[in-house]
A and B are shown apart, each in its own frame.
Chain A
Amino acid sequence: MQTKPLHNNNLNFAGLPTSFNLCNLVSPIHKMLEARLEQADLLKKVVDAIKDLVQDCNFDCNDSGIALQAMDNSHVALVSMMLKAESFSPYRCDRNVALGVNLTSLTKVLRAASSEDILTIKAEDAPDVLNLVFESSESDRLSEYDLKLMDIDQEHLGIPDTEYAATISMPSADFRKICQDLMLLSESVSIEATKDGVKFTCAGDIGNGAVTLRSHTNVDKPDLNVDIELTEPVSLTFSLKYLVNFCKAAGLSKSVKLCLSNEVPLLVEYALAGNSYLRFYLAPKIGDDE
């Protein structure tokens, strides 16, 4: 008498997992790419940070990870993202594939994912769609989205490793605050790095402002450290609008690294876990310093 219901229950429970297992068994055979992120948050934030700079871009997937390089419409800024294979668990990419994505569309899909969700992105060989699966770690909810892909002609720029004259590490939130504050006064900021520190100056119609940072080490809170490495003084002017835009990535990393050299673009780098990074390059303003 008792075994019967149990037996029935077992059957019921067994039924569902079996089907899931089948899916899992079958799908990898067709998938070119399968990358599982423990936290959907990472991708959400990356895309959020980029989408206001770039409209469409290719996610270039290879066995080392997912890379992205794109310029804004004016071609004065460049974003370079690298999500290494180590950031995923697991990561599998059988062949190099470029996933052309409209970032606004991707944002819409990613909005469906909670920050804590496990995110799996999958794509077939020569894919038409990018398959995104969100698994809630807390509930048994499983969301699955297909995002249409597009063909994007994109030129890749070779970015050499550069020895910068000045490298400033600082809390990303601080950098964001400085940029936002100064943007209220002016459209461009002059970043002046000397041995005394780094000075952000701006001058606008309503007045002018300056924020100076000095090297600072906080043992208790290393996140608040300000580290300035200087080989020679540098002074460059940048568009604040762009910098503020870069700062949307502040949520990705506690600290940001600014690298400056005369006559070369500013590098704003947000380091991510597992050697991944999100980098922004911005051309300095020349001949326009007030």
Chain B
Amino acid sequence: MKTRGRPSTKAKKETVEVPVTSEPKTQLGPNVAHPPQLFILPEDISKDARIVSLENPRSSNDSRYLVCPERGFYEFTKVAAPKSTPRSLLLSSLDAKAVDNGDNAVEDSNDKLSSSGYIMRDAGLFVATPVDPLFFVLPVLAPVSASKHSDIPKKLFLSGEDYLNKVTTTSPHLSTLFRVDSLRVSIEKRMAAVCDTVDAGDETMYRLSEEKMMKELLKKAKKMSKKGLPASMEDKFIRKALEVPIMSIKREESSLKDEDTPADTPDTQTSTDTAASSFSEASTAATSFSEDSQGTATQTPKTPSIPSITAPDGVVDLLRLRTALFFICSNYIAPHLSETIKKLVLSPTSTVNFAPLEAHLVHLAKLRQEALAARQLGSTSQKRSLEEDEDGESRVEKKRKLEEEEKRKKAGESRGVKNLKKVNTTGMKKMSDFFKKK
């Protein structure tokens, strides 16, 4: 687990602003076998900060996080060039023109590398972005065993110590960090935000309050959506979801409707299509849970000028809010808990009333269905008419010819000939029976 890396990094100012990093003194890095990796870390984190393996609150796998006893938790978001446009990074020493080229070039303090600069084959950057420690505690506050929380009557108050001990069992690296009081305090503060608390002597006992948790999560979601969702999310989950189907145009994004939340885990989510969008997306995503981060303060979320969405007042905001919430759920909250949250958010007791959104989405779904039906109807009828055209053309042609022939025959047929056809000729032999052919 020991990383030996020297990703002492110094970030340039990016067009999309990333938390400026300094060179951490910590000796963290990849194994020797692996090429150096580039990390962009918060500027003034403490010397005690470590990159540790913690249990990913969503996937329950171990993931790497940067934990600073003073500044809190950071997750790593990989910013990578898309596979279609491979890039490399040139790392050169600071006294070269690294500063002013405005590129991703970063001084590498590693002696080996700094002298001549270093070219990183993989242009991936790991950007440390703040993450609310609350997410790490939630799994123990609402353990899976209590997945049917609603019908678990006895939820016990436990001391913060107990909870933290549980956390350290799944994420042993934390045990050392929890010795730092500041970290514990901050975590307990976060716990208090979502828990009912009882003071027992000098200890505070906590018990998860779904109500408070919802409030907290909604707060995050509101914050995330207030500044506008990242463009890609906005486009995929807001614009398309609210798109009014055009009758003549095929729309198939009914599947992209509200219930769809980004399924990406933080890992996959970070490898987005373009570097630019991943910057914006990753950083904007970070805003949702970095309440205290200066990163969010410096965020200037892209709000590209796009045609306005036609939807009733408030619906768009509601959808953004819900999308943000579901995004948080799908990335930072264990599946069982997110299910509960989704149920709660849609329940009438929810502090935010999503009913207008629901109604509008149902309405849209209906419209889409109608459009689809109309299109299918149209296409089949078109098809049929086409078939008819081909098939029918010959049929009509044949019929016409027959009729014409018939008509011609009729025209050339005297009344007498017609009448003779009706004559009963039974018992009359054919002429050829009497007269031989010549």
Contacts and interface: CB of A to CB of B under 8 A. Distances in A.
Contact of B438 (A52, A105, A158, A242): A158
Nearest to B413: A55
B421 interface: yes
A242 to B, nearest CB: 7
A54 B420 CA distance: 10
A245 B435 contact: no
Contacts, number: 105
A281 to B, nearest CB: 7
Contacts of B425: 74, 76, 239
B435 A283 contact: no
Interface residues of A, number: 41
B34 interface: no
A74 B414 contact: no
Contacts of B420: 52-53, 72-74, 241-242, 245
Given A75-B430, A76-B428, A158-B435, A239 B423 contact: yes
B427 interface: yes
A192 to B, nearest CB: 17
B417 to A, nearest CB: 5
Nearest to B424: A187
A285 B433 CA distance: 13
Contacts of B438: 155-158
A259 B426 CA distance: 22
Contact of B432 (A157, A242, A287): A157
A288 B423 CA distance: 14
A277 B227 CA distance: 112
Interface in A271-287: 281-287
B346 to A, nearest CB: 83
B415 interface: yes
Interface in B371-412: 409, 411-412
Interface in A53-101: 53-56, 71-78
B423 A157 contact: no
7 contacts: A72-B420, A73-B421, A104-B414, A107-B414, A156-B438, A158-B435, A160-B435
A103 B411 CA distance: 11
Contacts of B112: none
Nearest to B434: A265
Contacts of A158: 435-438
A71 B415 CA distance: 16
Contacts of A122: none
A264 interface: yes
B427 A285 contact: yes
B412 A105 contact: yes
Contacts of A77: 431
A36 interface: no
Contact of A51 (B414, B419, B424): B414
Given A75-B430, A242-B420, 5 more contacts: A73-B417, A75-B431, A239-B425, A245-B416, A286-B427
A157 B420 CA distance: 21
B154 interface: no
Contacts of A281: 431, 434-435
Contact of B431 (A53, A107, A157): A157
Given A73-B420, A156-B437, A157-B436, A104 B413 contact: yes
Interface in A157-197: 157-160, 187
A52 B412 CA distance: 11
Contacts of B417: 51-55, 72-73
A201 interface: no
A43 to B, nearest CB: 16
B2 interface: no
B174 to A, nearest CB: 106
B429 interface: yes
A102 interface: yes
Nearest to A285: B427
A54 B412 CA distance: 10
A4 B412 CA distance: 57
B423 A74 contact: yes
> Which 10 pairs across A and B sit closest by C-beta, in order of nearness?
A52-B416, A288-B427, A157-B435, A285-B427, A76-B428, A102-B412, A283-B428, A75-B430, A241-B423, A156-B438
